[in-house]
Homo-oligomer: A and B are copies of this chain.
Amino acid sequence: MDKERSAQAEVRDILRASKYKYTRQREKIMDVLLENIDEHLSADDVYNLVKDKAPDIGLSTVYRTLELFQDCNILHGIDFGDGCKRYELNHEIGEGHHHHHLICLVCGQIIEVKDDLLENLEKRIGAEYNFDICDHQLKFFGYCEKCAGQKSPV
């Protein structure tokens, strides 16, 4: 895939720019992230997926790499309240798009909302609080179509 190819090159350059090495493991982990760009993978998810490509990889390498990628602004972590951190590629990488999440309080389903109408709000608030905003995260909580009847957590 061309898109993945260039995303890999981009990541390699980002890492090298910060004097980090572009290792086999980091490449494979990036592969997994790109192949599952619509998912919200946990470190363990990534570990299980990447083991097919690099059976000798260690779980701690996955943790360390995800943290490194986060520091390099390649991805960011989100908490959906299920007890582990999940990751999402930043929109500059791959075919990403800025989006938000609808989280169903009953079934836990997460629906992505393609929308980025917060730019004005972001500017206004940044100016008002003298805060240099570079990203935002918006979560909506409520009840999905299916669960709209039964309003109590499982």
Contacts and interface: CB of A to CB of B under 8 A. Distances in A.
Copies in the assembly, this chain: 2
Contacts of A100: 125
A85 B84 CA distance: 11
A149 to B, nearest CB: 10
A140 B145 contact: no
A58 interface: no
A153 interface: yes
Q: Which 5 A-B pairs have the closest CB atoms?
A: A79-B79, A133-B142, A132-B143, A135-B141, A137-B139
Given A111-B131, A134-B142, A135-B141, 9 more contacts: A77-B81, A79-B81, A104-B131, A115-B125, A131-B143, A133-B142, A135-B142, A136-B141, A138-B139
